[in-house]
Amino acid sequence: MEKFIWAFIVGGGICVIGQILMDVFRLTPAHTMCTLVVAGAVLGGLGLYDPLVKFAGAGASVPISSFGNSLLKGAILESQQNGIIGALTGIFEITSSGISAAIVFGFLASLIFKSKG
């Protein structure tokens, strides 16, 4: 139960950072998302993101910053087995479920739904 509260607080906090980037620094949503993804990869490289995921669960793994961290994690894991080329082959190892789901269901949605307006 405690985990749900931390997920709420940490997830909400990351979204507030995004909102501040959008409102105060006047970034577009796309720029905000890119900034957070790069931040996630850098934090993952410093070894700070995984403890956060362990602590806050979905609060850290649902925001887009975990996308950068997962990309990095896949690259590092594969490179430990196959050397430096593993950084290329393993980069989508963990995130592939998210990207595939988004592509497949996004395409299906375009078959079913018509745009409004």
Partner 1 sequence: MSSKKNKKLTPVQQEYQTFAKIREPKRPVFQNCVRAFLVGGIICTIGQGLQWIFMKYFKFTQETAGNPSTAVLIIISILLTGLGVFDHIAQWGGAGTAVPVTGFANTISSAAIEHRSEGYVLGVGGNMFKIAGPVIVYGVVSAFIVAIIKITIKWLGGM
Q: Which is nearer to partner 1, 51 or 88 (CB)?
A: 88
Q: Which is nearer to partner 1, 51 or 98 (CB)?
A: 98
| H or E stretch at 81 | helix 65-82
What minimum distance in Å lies between the beta carbon of 51 and partner 1? 13
d(CA 86, CA 92): 11
Q: Which is nearer to partner 1, 51 or 97 (CB)?
A: 97
The residue among 17, 14, 75 whose CA lies nearest residue 44 is 75
Q: First-to-last CA distance in the chain?
A: 43
What minimum distance in Å lies between the beta carbon of 79 and partner 1? 6
Cβ pair 101, 108 in contact under 8 A = no
What minimum distance in Å lies between the beta carbon of 43 and partner 1? 10
